[in-house]
Amino acid sequence: MTDSRKIKRALVSVYHKDGLDDILKKLHHEGVEFVSTGGTQSFIESLGLPCEAVETLTGYPSILGGRVKTLHPKILGGILARREEEEDRQQLSKYEIPSIDLVIVDLYPFEETVASGANTEAIIEKIDIGGISLIRGAAKNFRDVVIIASKAQYKPFMHLLDEKGAQTTLEDRRWFAKEAFAVSSAYDTAIFRYFDGDEHSAFRCALHEAKPLRYGENPHQKGVFVGKFDALFDQLHGKEISYNNLLDIDAAVSLIDEFDEPTFAILKHTNACGVASRPTLLQAWTDALAGDPVSAFGGILVTNEVIDCETAEEINKIFFEVIIAPDYMTDALDILKQKKNRIILLRKQKEQRTEQFRSLLNGVLIQDRDLSIQTEADLEPLTNGTPDEREKADLLFANKIVKHSKSNAITLVKDKQLCANGAGQTSRVDALKQAIEKAKHFGFDLQDAVMASDAFFPFPDCVEIADKAGITAVIQPGGSVNDHLSVEYCNTHEMKMVKTGVRHFKH
């Protein structure tokens, strides 16, 4: 038998009917007969098209409050029958089961119902049984049947009808079957995750949109982003976003969300190299850039304020990969668009997953995202001296940055400006020395600056080095058996130290 199939009969049972009318009219024009249920049957007939009721075909009414409508041999048999099998054809004839060549169905909106805050009973009723059976049955029998399993397939199916009429190839049917199994697996994943709650008894993740990237971390590696990037950002300008861009964008928005004041941050390889909070965006940009103008070259820029023309003029003077802002003034956008490859992103909403996944070895690590933000109430003084108001503000500012820096990390801050970040070092002492050297290289006076550490100090060597550099206050999580040694040094040398009790390792 040829792999070409003519659609003669379609079962249609959909929750969302938008965009379906043109498809139904086209199918009717091609001589396709319809079988349907309840509201979908009424919709088809409202278009002036004939439609047989499922109840007429099966001889059974919809029962159990609509829970059982299409679960019947005359429906599933017509879908699952193998046209090339003589025995199947004989049974279709014997039991008067009409072949069904096309199934158009979508599923009850389970995820939307959960997201709406509905009660348990309402959520359970939105677990589709008949629809998922129709999808799996039609997709399994793709050699003979076309399955349209969601509204997302309406457009490609209409394109197929315009091109080929009601005739399909095996390749066509296999593609729609693949899409259908993606729908059913994602649906089951959502249900499992609802029942599993916070237990994490198994790893299940289903994201619906995959975008091939130019390459992965390096040109010889393949890369794909699976997710709804467009739900979070509008790309207003620039080249295609890369794998490394996406890593930096995630780091940038995670960092900027820590700040309420007008703030600008510059990141390179996911670490902050410049951050400043100021009354005006222009000053925030100027002081953020001063933190490390060398590393800013080719960096990722992010702010929590609308970018104005004056600030855009200054930003335009350097080369950067990506800029992210909640909005741009028209003239500012025109300025930033002067370089064709710059990626300009408008952030539409602050939506971060509360879980993080990382693949490694032969499995996946799952953890809660680090959403812990320390406030003044979390600062527990460890020394005789306590930080003044300026120092407290700087300590909290520094703690936000060190939280988003690769471990081991030390952050130096003065007047809500990042003086230097020592990140990703194998020794906390090395991280501090790196930060001090960078700060001095770019002309910062560290006298009265503060220091943040992402983890405790096992020895007092770091506070001693910081003291000699002019640093007067320290914030750290505490928890070392040798905490008292660092505290004793601070007391002896009139330094101030507070602990938060929260470690911010970032491996």
Comparing C-alpha atoms, which of 429, 402, 393 is closest to residue 504? Answer: 402
271 Cβ neighbours under 8 A, 6+ residues apart: 251, 404, 405, 406, 421, 423, 424
Dist CA 503 CA 374 (whole Å): 11
Dist CA 322 CA 304 (whole Å): 15
247 Cβ neighbours under 8 A, 6+ residues apart: 270
Catalytic one of 140, 211, 433, 440: 140
The sign of the torsion formed by the CA atoms of 270, 275, 279, 285 equals: negative
Dist CA 54 CA 61 (whole Å): 8
Q: Annotated catalytic, 269?
A: yes
Q: Are 134 and 103 in contact (CB under 8 A)?
A: yes
15 Cβ neighbours under 8 A, 6+ residues apart: 106, 107, 108, 109
**Omega within 30 of 0 (cis) for the link into 316:** no
The sign of the torsion formed by the CA atoms of 404, 453, 467, 434 equals: negative
Q: Annotated catalytic, 6?
A: no
Q: Would you give the DSSP letter of residue 475?
A: E
Residues in the chain: 507
- CA 167 vs CA 33, 93, 102, 249, 366: distances in Å: 14, 24, 11, 45, 46
Q: Would you give the DSSP letter of residue 80?
A: H
As given in the structure block, the two tokens for residue 421 are 């970040």
148 Cβ neighbours under 8 A, 6+ residues apart: 102, 103, 104, 105, 154, 157, 176, 180
User: What are the helix (H) ranges across 86-197?
Assistant: 86-94, 110-115, 120-125, 130-140, 154-164, 170-196
Which residue shows structure tokens 């539409």?
348
Rg (CA), the chain: 31
As given in the structure block, the two tokens for residue 119 are 């009660």
As given in the structure block, the two tokens for residue 405 are 């820096």
Catalytic one of 8, 26, 269, 337: 269
Burial (CB count <10 Å: 0-12, 13-18, 19+), residue 458: middle
Dist CA 173 CA 146 (whole Å): 5
Dist CA 406 CA 421 (whole Å): 10
| Count of helices and strands (H, E) across the chain | 19, 23
Dist CA 374 CA 501 (whole Å): 10
Q: List active site positions.
A: 140, 269
